Amino acid sequence: MTPIDRRAFLAAAGASAAMSAAKAIAASAAGEGSERAAHPGDDHRGPAVIASANGLKTVELAFARVAAGVDPLLAAVEGVGLVEADPDDMSVGYGGLPNERGVVQLDSSVMHGPTHRAGAVAALENIVHPARVALKVLQTTDHCLLVGQGALDFARAHGFPEQNLLTDRARAAWLKWKHNLSPADDWLDDDQTDWPEDQAPQTRLDHPPPGWPEGVPFTWGTIHCSAVTGAGDLGSCTTTSGLSFKIPGRVGDSPIVGAGMFCDNAVGAAGATGRGEAVIESCGAFDAVREMERGATPTEACLAVLRRIAERSTRQRRLVERGVPNFNVTMYALRKDGAFGSAALRGPAGGAPFAVCTAAGARIEHAPVLFVV
């Protein structure tokens, strides 16, 4: 299907006054009345690694590992490790934006296709590589998910080094947020002009919700990565620092198996980035894999999940209007035969970027969006 231009779309909907926005979304996303555009990834076959747009180096590394015969889950976990350790990515691992108390809490899940086993950690502090801890949960326990202090104790038991994950830049961003919470509190917003260039808060991270103060960073950001070998074995991984300035203990979709990540070696793998609550409420990754099982291409599967999220979003503060969310979610899907695709709820007319690596090399491709913004 082609990207939906919201203006054109509403104009069409307006011509038929009886057509609700929700119905219009469903009709347009189903490709009714429009030529369904081809998405080249849906036709790809063979080994492949797909990731969110912040994972270009991730897919390159993971694909090289898969090509060298490394297990696809180990390859994906190694690949996302580059972003977990990157202080400049404020949505994942070291350098991620902290919770409302200024503490970085990380979430991650992993799943291994051939054994259908999963591991996850949530609200983990002081460990740079939560995906590696999630992998240890999978490999060395009879559990799926460890949280908070228990996850940290487990990481310590396995010798993971501890360090403060709050970089100066993330701390500056947190202070900026705190200074802008209320004009009536005692945290005054100075303009922080004395921040060195490399420590100043980044402000263009993600689409903030309406009313978010100007100049204050915001992110739902995350990295998802799924890999498939030439033999059709899959591994999948999602890792994040989660929603910026969240309530301490808040857990997003990333460590929830079936929401932020899911893998079924008979079908494919999928993952999500964006507003975790919406993905949890729709079991996004599980839904995408089941869509592929029913015959959808990876791109169609991602779009089907996003349509359901749009149609079922009812919380007024999260809607532009009924059926039109003001937040973003991006889905990624990789089929057992190597077909891949992505789609985003909102994005530019040129599509939403995602990273992929195949035998043709690592690159950024663009996925269809439900609402052009």
As annotated, the active-site residues are: 222
Structure letter (DSSP) for residue 257: B
Q: Which of 41, 72, 201, 242 binds ligand GLY (CB under 6 A)?
A: 242
| Closer residue to ligand GLY (CB): 280 or 339 | 280
Nearer to ligand GLY by Cβ, of 232 and 260: the residue is 260
If the CB atoms of residues 296 and 331 are measured against ligand GLY, the closer one turns out to be 331
Among 79, 113, 258, 274, binds ligand GLY (CB under 6 A): 274
245 vs 55: CA distance, rounded Å: 23
Q: Considering beta carbons, is residue 253 or 264 the nearer one to ligand GLY?
A: 253
Q: Of the ranges 71-79, 251-259, 293-301, 303-311, which one interacts with ligand GLY (CB under 6 A)? A: 251-259
- The reply on whether position 313 binds ligand GLY by CB under 6 A is no
We find the least distance from the C-beta atom of residue 131 to ligand GLY, in angstroms, to be 14
Of 58 and 240, nearer to ligand GLY (C-beta) is 240
Helices and strands, counts by H and E, the chain? 10, 15
Residue 53 contacts by C-beta under 8 Å, 6 or more apart in sequence? Answer: 352, 353, 354, 355, 364
Q: Is 240 in the site for ligand GLY (CB under 6 A)?
A: yes
Question: Which range in 155-163, 192-200, 238-246, 314-322 contacts ligand GLY by CB under 6 A?
Answer: 238-246
Q: If binding is defined by CB under 6 A, does position 236 make contact with ligand GLY?
A: no
Q: What residues numbered 197-226 form the site for ligand GLY, per CB under 6 A?
A: 220, 222
How many residues sit close enough to ligand GLY to count as binding (CB under 6 A)? 13
Return the number of other C-beta atoms located less than 10 Å from residue 293's C-beta.
14
The phi and psi torsions of 63 (rounded to 5 degrees) equal -65, -40
Positive or negative, the CA dihedral 239, 297, 64, 90 is negative
**Residue 81, SS3 per DSSP:** helix
Q: Taking contact as CB under 6 A, which single stretch among the options 51-59, 170-178, 270-278, 290-298 is the one that binds ligand GLY?
A: 270-278
The DSSP bridge pattern shows strands 261-264 and 117-124 to be unpaired
* Residue 276 in contact with ligand GLY, rule: CB under 6 A: yes
CA of residue 49 relative to chain centroid, distance: 15
**Could you tell me how far CA 364 lies from the centroid of its own chain?**
16
Please check whether residue 239 is in contact with residue 221, taking contact to mean a CB–CB distance below 8 angstroms: no
Q: Which span (63-71, 166-174, 272-280, 333-341) binds ligand GLY, by CB under 6 A?
A: 272-280
Question: The tokens 């992505």 sit on which residue?
Answer: 342
Which lies closer to ligand GLY via its Cβ, residue 219 or residue 297?
219
Residue whose CB is less far from ligand GLY, 1 or 170: 170
Do 46 and 359 touch, CB atoms closer than 8 A? Answer: yes
Q: Which tokens sit at 187?
A: 């945290």
Tokens of 344: 């985003």
Other Cβ atoms less than 10 A from the Cβ of 20: the count is: 14
Smallest CA-to-CA distance from 134 within 270, 259, 263, 238 is with 238
Cα–Cα separations (whole angstroms), residue 345 to 105, 171, 354? 26, 30, 14
- Tell whether residue 243 is a contact of ligand GLY (CB under 6 A): yes
The single residue among 79, 95, 252, 341 that binds ligand GLY, judged by CB under 6 A, is 252
User: Which of these ranges, 30-38, 58-66, 239-247, 295-303, lies near ligand GLY under the rule CB under 6 A?
Assistant: 239-247
Measure the CA–CA gap between 119 and 146, rounded to whole angstroms. 8
Q: How far is the CB of 240 from ligand GLY (least distance, A)?
A: 5
The distance of closest approach from Cβ of residue 79 to ligand GLY in the complex, given in angstroms and rounded to an integer, is 18
Q: Per CB under 6 A, does 108 bind ligand GLY?
A: no
Cβ pair 362, 320 in contact under 8 A: no
- Could you list the residues that contact ligand GLY (CB under 6 A)? 220, 222, 240, 242-243, 252-254, 260, 273-276
